[in-house]
Structure 1
């Protein structure tokens, strides 16, 4: 990676905008991915997941559903976490060729009162690459190896959700980020992410076949392979055509 020609920008309030990509339709990323130095109530991720704080966060969130199915609670919690992690990361890469430092042991997390992740902290703005022709797996490899593998292990151990479900949850947001970041080549990258069995380094691609784009009533729809279990929680809306369960798509 090569630094050069890129600087972080300070908000009037003193916090730092991590990426020039976090503007316009992606401005909300500024609230979800920040410098750890600006996240005053942040806790190191390793401590959060290993100390019992994650278990307590799930219990706090479950209380909003009068208990609720533990796996469904953990899956919904992961949707908030994974969207806050993967969308800013992919948007910064797709639009600025900026690779945010998302190593699990170097990040922090802050929670809302309901136990959901409010924001994630990173140690620095990261590096920029001068290569325009990078393919998606070059960006996804550190995200997978340095972060998602660790988090998904905790989601299974504490939340009881299957790794395949958690990988599917992550794939939805990576696909969304690529397709909304702009151009047709990025849509092609999103297709490649879920269509190849192996990553370029020969490792199994955890996103393989997680999503399928199908034609329905004359329109292209994106569909999950594995349901996120939200239908088991009262008051949570269906994810519509995205749902893997035909019975839940129109709820």
Structure 2
């Protein structure tokens, strides 16, 4: 696959449009510096107050709804703008990108949600998945989750479950994108299933998902922790929900 060459004046094309299909949004999320302007320094999101302001701006549309669901959905939107585009860029021949929170610029919409990132170059583009994706999980999402949990009192377990669900969805999709490397899904699976990181640290992604084969050779994915999105108007229960399907909000 040959994504469009990097150009700092427009977002990175991490998947060729002819194969991106329903996932074409990933081609609007990642920018090289300087980016489109107005990015929030990622390092500022380590602090509770700026982060909570963004969540509160998003929550203004959901007055009276469970605050945990608001935080969870805000974070799911953030992860969707980061993890699938970054995985695509890394896996399908795009430039190596540094994904640490402290070096990233975070693009924010008027409603407080994340729409993309300005990321510097010079990171491993292929090779060991722990080396390639360690920065996004351990140096970006981990500190963000700590700050979000401290500022909103939503459990870390719920937030990490949202990350794991995004990664398992990537694993399922990667197997069926034309021209995808044969190890793309296996890399995501390894990150999800290994109990420890290579340096001995506990893997915060492990244990959040269940896999089972189906008649169509697709993964039948199920979360262990509900993301609570069904509690917000306009969001249906996700297909991977562990709760009974006849549950009412």
Q: TM-score surpassing 0.5?
A: yes
Please give the alpha-carbon distance, in whole angstroms, between the structure 2 residues aligned to 1:231 and 1:87: 23
Please give the alpha-carbon distance, in whole angstroms, between the structure 1 residues aligned to 2:183 and 2:229: 32
C-alpha deviation, 1:176, in angstroms? 2.4
Greater per-residue strand proportion = 1
Residue in structure 1 matched with residue 210 of structure 2 by the alignment? 212
Superimposed CA distance per residue, residues 100-135 of structure 1 (whole angstroms, 9 cap, x where no aligned partner): 11111111112212211122221x233454x5xx24
Q: 2:155 aligns with which of 154, 162, 174?
A: 162
Please give the alpha-carbon distance, in whole angstroms, between the structure 2 residues aligned to 1:148 and 1:214: 27
Please give the alpha-carbon distance, in whole angstroms, between the structure 2 residues aligned to 1:236 and 1:106: 32
| 8 Å CA contact 1:103, 1:146 repeated in 2 | yes
Instruction: Evaluate the alpha carbon distance shift between residue 112 and residue 21 of structure 1 in structure 2; reply closer, same or farther with a 3 A threshold.
Output: closer
Superimposed CA distance per residue, residues 169-214 of structure 1 (whole angstroms, 9 cap, x where no aligned partner): 1112222233323354322233322222112222111111211112
Count of residue pairs the alignment pairs up? 237
Superimposed CA distance per residue, residues 62-92 of structure 1 (whole angstroms, 9 cap, x where no aligned partner): 1111242111111100001111111122112
C-alpha deviation, 1:235, in angstroms? 2.5
- In structure 2, the gaps of 5 or more residues are 175-179
TM-score (norm 2): 0.83
Residue in structure 2 matched with residue 200 of structure 1 by the alignment? 198
Q: Does 1:85 align with 2:78?
A: no
Residue in structure 2 matched with residue 225 of structure 1 by the alignment? 224
Three-state SS of the structure 2 residue aligned to 1:119 is strand
Instruction: Evaluate the alpha carbon distance shift between residue 161 and residue 217 of structure 1 in structure 2; reply closer, same or farther with a 3 A threshold.
Output: farther
Please give the alpha-carbon distance, in whole angstroms, between the structure 2 residues aligned to 1:180 and 1:111: 27
Report runs of 4+ in structure 1 exceeding 6 Å deviation.
216-219
Residue in structure 2 matched with residue 177 of structure 1 by the alignment? 170
- In structure 1, the gaps of 5 or more residues are 1-5
Q: Cα RMSD (Å) of the superposition?
A: 2.8
Please give the alpha-carbon distance, in whole angstroms, between the structure 2 residues aligned to 1:249 and 1:92: 38
Residue in structure 2 matched with residue 109 of structure 1 by the alignment? 106
Residue in structure 2 matched with residue 126 of structure 1 by the alignment? 122
| 8 Å CA contact 1:179, 1:186 repeated in 2 | no
Please give the alpha-carbon distance, in whole angstroms, between the structure 2 residues aligned to 1:197 and 1:95: 26
Instruction: Evaluate the alpha carbon distance shift between residue 235 and residue 27 of structure 1 in structure 2; reply closer, same or farther with a 3 A threshold.
Output: closer
Q: Does 1:151 align with 2:144?
A: yes
Instruction: Evaluate the alpha carbon distance shift between residue 159 and residue 216 of structure 1 in structure 2; reply closer, same or farther with a 3 A threshold.
Output: farther
C-alpha deviation, 1:229, in angstroms? 1.2
